[in-house]
Structure 1
Amino acid sequence: MTYRVALICLGNICRSPMAHVVLEDRLAAAGLDDRVEVASSGTGDWHVGHPMDPRAAATLTAAGYDPSRHRARTFSPDWYAENDLLLTMDASNYADVVDHAPTVQQVEQVRMFREFDPEAPGDDLDVPDPYYGGDDGFAEVLAMIERTTDELVARLPDLMDR
């Protein structure tokens, strides 16, 4: 049975697609890509159908990833039925996704992405949005995503058994 993970940010052009690309890469390296599917979306619809932000794509490319397949999509309540785990990039995204939960029980599917970050301080689980900043912000976000994804992949077999 396939386990499905969704990554969610605001516009689906920076943080969640970067995490999507990195997670797919790490799953392949761990031999889990045949058991886990990844999707990403945004809570807003401004960028639907657009490729990743050029700065995010350039940061990924420079690190050896392929960002070319991404097209922005919008989160909908259907994602609860289509995915096992919904990982949000910040507290605002978390609140938006929880507000769309079809049932109270399905809220348990939603977690903050950085809950898996071994360096995250307990009170700040947000992945900062690099959109309005410079290139350094994208590099910082990529480093955060990579270490968080490594931990997520290590813990996925336990999550899949639940």
Structure 2
Amino acid sequence: MSPTDPFRVLFVCTGNICRSPMAEVVFRDLAEHQGLGSHIVSTSAGTSEWHVGERADVRTIEALERRGYDGSHHRAKPFTAASFTDNDLIVALDRTHERILRQWARDEDQEGKVTLLLAYDRAAESLDVPDPYYADTATFDSVLAMIETASRGLFRQLEPALRSNRGLRAQPRTTPSQYTSPQN
């Protein structure tokens, strides 16, 4: 990756209609608000092909809207072998996804790209973002809040390297600093 190439982050859940689209949208918004929107590409995919081409679950879109995000343009896509090559970091939403992704990795470099989102939230009670698909509106909101917190932690880990590799100066923060670092 050259200093002019964007850093590519791929969020992965099962069907790519609930958790990973939330993470994709939240992380993209965070990068935009921190002045790094043109230096980070945030996308998402699913470990299954159940919903390929579909919009995010309507409850996902509504939860995002309630928090000021736009998830209306999302279309579900599957994780493919090329996803390892095309991305710098692959963020699993739960340990099942992490296990699947590590099994799909062809070598240590690909396996080393895989991480868990909630590893970037020290206060998280679990490393798994729960799947809200069979739950109520409140659960979608709760899952989104988890994703926001962990995304800020992940961004905090990436931001210094992104700024130094690209010769960028720190920008004033537009939101309160609520960052955490990953668990050991």
Tell me, what secondary structure is at the counterpart of 1:34?
coil
- For 2:143, give the aligned amino acid: V
Task: Give me the identity figure in percent.
Answer: 38
Q: TM-score, normalised by structure 1?
A: 0.94
**Displacement, 1:158?**
4.2
Match of 1:49 among 28, 50, 53: 53
Q: Which residue of 1 aligns with 2:137?
A: 135
Q: TM-score, normalised by structure 2?
A: 0.83
Deviation >3 Å, runs of 4+? 158-162
**In the TM superposition, what are the counterparts of 1:8-23 in structure 2 within 5 Å?**
8-23=12-27
Tell me, what secondary structure is at the counterpart of 1:154?
helix
**Displacement, 1:104?**
2.5
Tell me, what secondary structure is at the counterpart of 2:45?
strand
Distance in structure 1 (CA, Å) of the matches to 2:51 and 2:144: 21
Match of 2:92 among 88, 91, 108: 88
Q: Which residue of 2 aligns with 1:2?
A: 6
**Displacement, 1:118?**
3.1
Q: Which residue of 1 aligns with 2:147?
A: 145
The one-character-per-residue Cα deviations of 1:83-118 (angstroms, maximum 9, x if unpaired) are 000000001111111111121332110000111113
Distance in structure 2 (CA, Å) of the matches to 1:134 and 1:62: 15
Distance in structure 2 (CA, Å) of the matches to 1:27 and 1:157: 9
Q: Gaps spanning 5+ residues in structure 2: where?
A: 166-184
The RMSD of aligned alpha carbons is 1.4
The count of aligned residue pairs is: 160
Match of 2:62 among 50, 55, 58: 58
Do residues 39 (structure 1) and 43 (structure 2) align? yes
Native 8 Å contact 1:116 1:149 kept in 2: yes
- Tell me: CA distance 1:37–1:147, structure 2 relative to 1, closer, same or farther (3 Å): same
The one-character-per-residue Cα deviations of 1:40-86 (angstroms, maximum 9, x if unpaired) are 00000000000000111111111111111100000012111000000
Q: Which residue of 2 aligns with 1:111?
A: 115
Distance in structure 2 (CA, Å) of the matches to 1:98 and 1:31: 32
